[in-house]
Amino acid sequence: MTLQVPASIDAEQALLGSLFLYPDTFRFTFEENLLPEDFFVAANKKIYQVMLDLNQEEKPIDVATVITRLQDIQELNSVGGVDYIMHLTDLAISSANSVHYITILKEKALLRRLIEVSEKIKQRSYQGQHDPIDVLNEAESLILKVSRDRKVSEFKNSKEVLDELIDRINQLKEKSGLTGVPSGFQYLDDITNGFQDSDLIIVAARPSVGKTAFALNIASNAAIRFEKSVALFSLEMPSIQLATRMLAAKSGVEINRIRTGRFLTNKDWTGIDQAKSQIETAKIYIDDSPTIKVNEIFAKCRKLKADKGLDMVVIDYLQLIAPTVSKGDNRQLEVSEISRSLKQMARELNIPVVALSQLSRNVEKNRERKPILSDLRESGAIEQDADIVMFLHYDKDSESNKAYEENPSKDALKEIELIIAKHRNGATGNLFFAFKPSINMFYLKDRTFNRKAED
């Protein structure tokens, strides 16, 4: 049985004939976003492209102008000559029926694109030279691209927009006003209004300041206190260590004692059992693959959202992610691609993505200096792609930290400054936390902030 390529040559010819005789038909082709590639026959594609070019140049579209343009570009013979053009006018339909024919062309074109994508996936699979996961990710990406390309955004009138806004305001009233995923730290949520859907949030710090602990606190708060679904990618630390830190923060029992299992009292065990109960019922999904490509993260999150729901992604940390395609020794280009991909993932899945980041080596030369946006390691693209950039800063010479430096006991607290250096849609400013490293816990202290949003 011979399979036929999805196409309707009759519909293509009838529509082109209508465009020759009834210029108002063009209104419908624009409304339905009809493209030259939606035509199957090469001659019909060329004729429609010439019509689009003439329209762009604000020139009349009729048999004479199209024939003249085809002659000018030496394509008249390739489309079948004057006879074929005249034949199209004999097949013209009324302008009123054109939408039906446009729909036929769009549907057939969609089927052809799906066949093309399927063929590409089939060839990659037959070759046997590619990682099956890479082929699967490429397949998902290609299918999604076909789906995205066929969608055309519709205008909303002002009433629809305002009705949507009022509904949202009423929902916010019931949810204490936060529009995004709560971090669990009130002053931070006051500034951000929660981490917003489609936002890329960067948290950067020098080594050993506590960025992993801070990210874990945010992930735990969102999942346990606010019942959000959180995916946590840990490229640096195995899942058992993450679980130890989360258990310590929730139980108040020191990390070292949980890790060794020694000197645990009955009170400690009670706290551990209660913390375990909270954590194991929370929707926290951990992936501790030490090497993972950015497209694999995308694919896993897409699947998790479809299967179980997903409200936020946390990644520790950005510079450890592998690019989809290696750029050789150009790590800056690779990090730029990773950053763009994470922002694309946030937008496509409509969730906030929190990514930890290293700072450049130059910052290490002057550890007392507060980090600034240009200190983000390996790529200025991170700053451009991010909606929020936050730095964690530890000043060991400050009055608040002298006690810790002199006696870093299990009960000692560090003062950590959170610098909100960029906030695309809101205020920037500084928050101060007390950080207890022995149990991996951050506590809010004070804040100062500037309410001016970015332009």
Task: Judge if 215 and 350 occupy the same domain.
Answer: yes
pLDDT, tens digit only, all 455 positions of the chain: 677 889 999 999 999 999 998 878 888 888 777 889 899 999 999 999 999 888 878 788 899 999 999 999 999 999 999 999 999 999 888 877 888 999 999 999 999 988 888 888 888 888 777 677 777 777 777 776 676 666 554 556 777 777 777 776 666 555 556 788 999 898 898 899 899 999 999 999 888 888 999 999 999 999 998 889 999 999 888 888 888 888 888 888 888 888 887 778 888 898 888 888 888 888 999 988 888 888 788 888 888 888 899 999 999 888 888 876 666 667 777 888 888 889 988 988 899 999 998 887 666 666 667 888 878 766 667 878 889 999 998 887 777 777 777 777 666 788 888 999 899 888 888 898 888 888 888 988 865 555 444 43
- Domain assignment present for 169: no
Report pLDDT for 352: 95
Task: Judge if 120 and 192 occupy the same domain.
Answer: no
DSSP-derived letter for residue 275 is H
Report pLDDT for 134: 72
Residue in the structure block whose two tokens are 């699947």: 303
Q: Are strands 353-357 and 312-316 parallel, antiparallel or unpaired?
A: parallel
Say if CB 192 and CB 423 are below 8 A apart. yes
Task: Judge if 354 and 416 occupy the same domain.
Answer: yes
CATH number at residue 211: 3.40.50.300
Q: SS3 helix, strand, coil % of the chain, rounded to 5?
A: 55, 15, 30
Report pLDDT for 122: 85
Please state whether 404 falls in left (phi above 0), alpha (psi between -120 and 50) or beta: alpha
How far apart CA 449 and CA 391 sit, in angstroms, is 14
How far apart CA 112 and CA 5 sit, in angstroms, is 7
Say if CB 26 and CB 19 are below 8 A apart. yes
Rg, Å, the chain Cα set: 29
Task: Judge if 334 and 248 occupy the same domain.
Answer: yes
- Domain assignment present for 362: yes
Query: In what side-by-side order are the strands of the sheet with 388-393?
Result: 284-287, 230-234, 312-316, 353-357, 200-205, 388-393, 414-423, 428-436, 441-450
Q: For the whole model, what pTM was predicted?
A: 0.63
- Domain assignment present for 166: no
DSSP secondary structure letters along 333-367:
HHHHHHHHHHHHHHHHHTS-EEEEEPBPHHHHTTT
CATH number at residue 92: 1.10.860.10
- Domain assignment present for 409: yes
Task: Judge if 246 and 147 occupy the same domain.
Answer: no
Range of the domain at 284: 179-450
Report pLDDT for 454: 46
Burial of 366 (0-12, 13-18, 19+ CB in 10 A): exposed
Is residue 433 classed as helix, strand or coil in its secondary structure?
strand
Task: Judge if 333 and 414 occupy the same domain.
Answer: yes
Task: Judge if 143 and 183 occupy the same domain.
Answer: no
- Domain assignment present for 211: yes
Is residue 126 classed as helix, strand or coil in its secondary structure?
helix
Task: Judge if 288 and 237 occupy the same domain.
Answer: yes
- Domain assignment present for 168: no
Q: Per the structure, how many domains does the chain have?
A: 2
Burial of 328 (0-12, 13-18, 19+ CB in 10 A): exposed
- Return the number of other C-beta atoms located less than 10 Å from residue 110's C-beta: 16
Say how many Å lie between the first and final Cα of the chain, rounded: 61
379 φ, ψ to 5°?
Answer: -165, 125
**Peptide bond before 126: cis, by omega within 30 degrees of 0?**
no
- Return the number of other C-beta atoms located less than 10 Å from residue 56's C-beta: 8
Burial 117-143, CB ≥16 within 10 A → b, else e? beeebeebeeeeeeeeebbbbbbbebe
- Domain assignment present for 163: no
- Domain assignment present for 187: yes
- Residue positions counted in the chain: 455
Task: Judge if 139 and 220 occupy the same domain.
Answer: no
Task: Judge if 129 and 251 occupy the same domain.
Answer: no
Residue at which a domain ends, from 152, 169, 195: 152
Please state whether 233 falls in left (phi above 0), alpha (psi between -120 and 50) or beta: beta
Report pLDDT for 166: 77
Non-local (6+) Cβ contacts of 67 within 8 A are 76, 82, 85
How far apart CA 412 and CA 432 sit, in angstroms, is 16
Report pLDDT for 383: 79
Residue in the structure block whose two tokens are 């010819």: 13
Is residue 328 classed as helix, strand or coil in its secondary structure?
coil
Task: Judge if 277 and 394 occupy the same domain.
Answer: yes
Residue at which a domain ends, from 100, 117, 152: 152
Task: Judge if 24 and 95 occupy the same domain.
Answer: yes
